[in-house]
Each structure stands twice: as C-alpha cells, then as structure tokens.
Structure 1
Amino acid sequence: MKKAYLVVLALAMSVVGMSLASCARRQGDEGKKTVSVKGSDTMVILGQRFAEVYMSQHPGTSIQVTGGGSGTGIAALINGTTDIAQSSRPMKESERQQIKEKFGTDAIETPVALDGLAVYLHQSNPVNELTLAQLKAIYTGSVTNWNAVGGKDAPIVLYSRENSSGTYVYFKEHVLNNEDFAATAQTLAGTAAVVNAVSKDENAIGYGGIAYVQNIKAVRIKKDDASPAIEPTRENVVSGAYPISRYLYFYTAGRPNNPVAVDFIRWVLSEPGQAVVKEVEYFPLPQQMRQRVFQQWEAAGQ
C-alpha cells in the first residue's frame, strides 16, 4: 500500500513539475520582444522580408528568421527552441501529437501565402512542357534521356532537395505518388542551390518555388496528356489551375504567450503583410480565405 502511495505521489509531483515549467516558460515569454522563426528554406526570403518590414514598423522588436528546412523548423517548435515554425508542407499527425504531449495544446496552422512548385530547366533546353506522369518517370529513373520527352539525345541530370525539406516532401507526395527518387538524383541544400546548378547544366532538371525562377526556364505542366499545359503564374496558382500548387504555413504550439509573436502573425495576415508576400513574388491569400484564417487564429486565443 505504501509503495503504491509513493508511486502515485511521484507521478503527481512529476505532473506538477511539468506544469510549473510550462507556466514559467510561458510567463517568461510575456515580456519578450524577440521572436524566433525557423524552418522552410523555400520561405526564408519571405520570412526575412516579413521581419524587415515588421521591425521597421515596430521599433524595439526583433524577429530572427533562419532556414534549415520545414522538418527542422517543426522539430525546433516541438523542442521549444523557436516561437514559429515556417513550413512548406502540412504538419504530420505524429508531429501534432508531439506538440500536444509536450505543451498540452494543439498546434495552430496558419497559412500565410500560396506558392507553386516550378520545374526548372536550363534556358537552352527545347522542352517546354511536361505531364505529371513524365515528371514522375524522370524523377523515379524510368526515363533517363531527354529524347523520351521531346528533347535532344542527352542524359537527364537530376537535382533535388534534401529529405528534411518541405519542398522535397510535397514533390514526392504529389508528383512521385510517394515512390522513391532515382538514386542518381543529386541532393542540394536549398532551392537557390538547385537553381544555380540547373542554370549551369544544359541537361539538368530541378524543382522549387516559383519565386526562385531566375536565369532558368520554368516549363508548363499538364495534369495528363489530355489536359492543357499550364504556366506557373500567380493567376494559375491562386485559381488552382496550376497542378503543383501549395500553401505556405506558420505553425505555433498553441497561441503563443509572447505578445510580439501574436502581433507578428496578425500583421502577416493583414494587408501590409500580404503586400510583402506579393513583393517577394509569392501569392497573397485570397481575401475570403485570409479573413477565415484570421478568424480561426483569433478564436484559438479564446
């Protein structure tokens, strides 16, 4: 009986300790004027510009933005080392469960922009369009020569992102249908590195955010042989016509007690924040969706 009592007492003290630690962490957040944002390399340029404009309008605040990949940002959120995780993919159920177990609250998902994944080719490549099936065949290694998809007789050189990248995860799920990448695919850290590699190799192919298209060609994409070839433009991404479109997200462990983090997220959803999205060549959320997201965010604090 005594042993059972001690076990119960130990468990109770453990729970109280965890609660006090959580309270202390959250109370400490209340006076902070610094916000940590970490995650998606696709979103680094966007996040840094968000931070620059916000800080210029809110003197005395500090928004620190770093990359590392969506998975890295979400891991930092779970570990309590960042206020906001930037992610170019939805959070996995297992990650949501870890947030729930550690913080006793649900993760809050906040879409902040729209993006389309462009397929990059060297400017001299004569191929102008590809179907999703052709893209899958290329990246799984079934097709290895450009002449199989209307190009010249030359080997296809594959460039991809690292597996911690949300861009990698999205491409694998939505283009490869969760099949493995070809062993010949060269993995690079960051979309800028992929663009740089493709710009220097006339036989190369890569993928990444539309905002990174510079000194390379972005091909038109077809859902299937019978569908029209769609250019990766703002209108086509927002309308849903472009086949490889996605949302870009902020994630928090519940509603932050850090008031600057809360205000920063509100600002990102506001007109000035969405103007930044357009400035860096991503695509602002449609007005109705932005209002719905804002209302959901506000409701999470009640």
Structure 2
Amino acid sequence: MKMKSMFVIGAVAGLMLGVPSVWAGNLVIKGSTTVLPVAQKVSEAYMKEKPDVRISISGGGSGNGIKAVIDGTTDIGNASRFIKEKEVKLAVEKGAYPVPFAVAYDCIVPVVHPSNSLSDITLEQLKAIYEGKVTNWKDLGGADKEIAVFSRDTSSGTYEVWGEKVLLGARVFPKALLQASNGVVVQAVSKNPNAIGYIGLGYLDDSTKMLSVGGVKGSAETTLNGTFPISRALFMFTRGWPEGDTADFINYMLHPDKGQKLVGGAGYVPLY
C-alpha cells in the first residue's frame, strides 16, 4: 500500500529520537477521540514504568488537538487525520512547527443497530445516505423505516476522512445528527433500530453491527492490505521536534514491544 511506506518512515524517524527523559513532570495530551483509547492504554503502561511522570489526557477532536499544539497548550496533539494546509499556515504565523508521528492505522466502519437485516453496503449507497438522497431502509433492501443518520461533528478527523473517502468532498446533509465522539455515536446507534453511523474500528463492540463495504469487512488485515476503502493513519503531533518526556513518550508509543503491542490490544492496527 502506497501510504504504508510513508507512515513506516515516520515511525522509524520517531524511533530515532535520541533525547532521554530529563525533565520529569507532567505531560498533556489532547485531541482525537479516535486516538484517545489507545493513548490512554499506552499512557497507563508508560506511567507504570515512569512513576515520576503524570499524563493528563482529554478528547475534543482532531482539530482541537492540532490547535492546542499550535497554541502551545498541549505537549502532544492527537489526530485521526493529517494536518491541513491552513493549519500549517497558522502554525507558521505563530512560530510553531507541528511535527507528525504516525502511531497506528485504523479504518472507519459503518455501523447499524444489531436488529438491522443489512450486512453489506456500497460506498455509493453510503454517500447517498449521508447526502440525504436515500432516506428509507427499504431502498436498500431493508425495512420500510426512515433512516436516522448519525455523523461526527466538524471538529472531528473522522468526519474529515469520511467526507473525503465516502462523500468525495460533499457535505453531510443538514438533517444528520452530529455527535461529539465515537463513543456517543455508538450509544446513539445502539439505542435506535433505524440508525446508521460510523466509528473507528477500536470502538466496535456488540452493541452495534458493523456493515461490510462493497463486500469487504473492516479489519486489521483489510486495513493493512488496502482492500478496505475507508482506512487511515492515526497521528500524534508535537510542537517542534520533541524533547524530554515528550520525546520519551513518543519513542515508547512507537516501540514494537511496548506501545505498538498495546495498539493491537486496543483494537487498532499496529504500524509493524
């Protein structure tokens, strides 16, 4: 897969950070709710090894994570998308130079209520649903019920990637119900028999039903081999080249036997 080599290069570069943890203290991590669960798992393991370091983690979306890096209000900004050109320009204006580290792979999977009879959907059908052109499940071979459409909000990297890969740049139609996190989407879809939503693979559980896309199921294997059409890399950004505890944590995150093992255990796809 073309993107894979780029992400692995980024990971190798991260492993080459030669800065020891010399400033023990607090680390602040903000941003993507997609990256949040794996960041929490890795942080817990890291703090057990480094008890003199405390890590504060919060969500808020990829856009807010990158903004916090630019503004200097976080040590690490989590993002489920790459930085935008306008964000780079803003960073340069503020004298900040965000450095990206790919930390995992993920795919975005469409989910419905477990009672829904559908098991597969096409990209074209997903696009039609999220543009408001298909509004009833019967048009897709399901029940004669209006589709309740749930989407992430505009601060979300998941929203951005869905818009790029599914909507092909079109906007989500106004009646879609915008949600602030993957977890909230899961809750909403699990309670509504007529709902559809989309979430990162790491949030998938028995409370919702994943739909395959064009006959391909979202998984670690189909993400890595490029056959699942809605795949992406997950990032951690720092403000300039990381130093001290920040560099030490990034190294830990990218280590094959440490952070990357936890990535797989959290339901995401390790880099290697």
TM-score normalised by structure 2 residue count = 0.89
SS in 1 for 2:82: coil
Q: Does 1:102 align with 2:87?
A: no
The answer for the alignment partner of 2:203 in structure 1 is 212
Question: d(CA) in 2 for partners of 1:210 and 1:255?
Answer: 30
Which structure has the bigger radius of gyration? 1
The answer for the alignment partner of 1:61 in structure 2 is 53
In the TM superposition, 1:171-190 aligns within 5 A as 171-190=162-181
SS in 1 for 2:60: coil
The answer for the alignment partner of 1:76 in structure 2 is 68
SS in 2 for 1:264: helix
Q: Does 1:126 align with 2:117?
A: yes
Contact map agreement 2:165 2:229 (CA 8 A) in 1: no
Amino acid at match of 2:181: G
TM-score normalised by structure 1 residue count = 0.80
In the TM superposition, 1:233-272 aligns within 5 A as 233-257=219-243, 259-271=244-256, 272=258
Q: Does 1:274 align with 2:263?
A: no
Moved more, 32-41 or 151-160: 32-41
SS in 1 for 2:199: strand
Question: Deviations along 1:82-127, whole A, 9 cap, x unmatched?
Answer: 01110001100111122223236x3211100000101011111111
For residue 58 of structure 1, report the CA deviation from its aligned partner: 1.1
Question: d(CA) in 1 for partners of 2:249 and 2:204?
Answer: 28
Question: d(CA) in 2 for partners of 1:239 and 1:211?
Answer: 18
Q: Which residue, out of 141, 146, 151, partners 1:150?
A: 141
Contact map agreement 1:76 1:85 (CA 8 A) in 2: yes
The structure with higher relative contact order (CA 8 Å, sep 6+) is: 2
Please list every run of 5 or more consecutive structure 1 residues that lacks an aligned counterpart in the other structure.
Answer: 1-28, 223-228, 287-302
Amino acid at match of 2:99: I
CA RMSD of aligned residues (A): 1.4
- Aligned-residue sequence identity (percent) comes to 40
Question: d(CA) in 1 for partners of 2:41 and 2:93?
Answer: 33
The answer for the alignment partner of 1:52 in structure 2 is 44
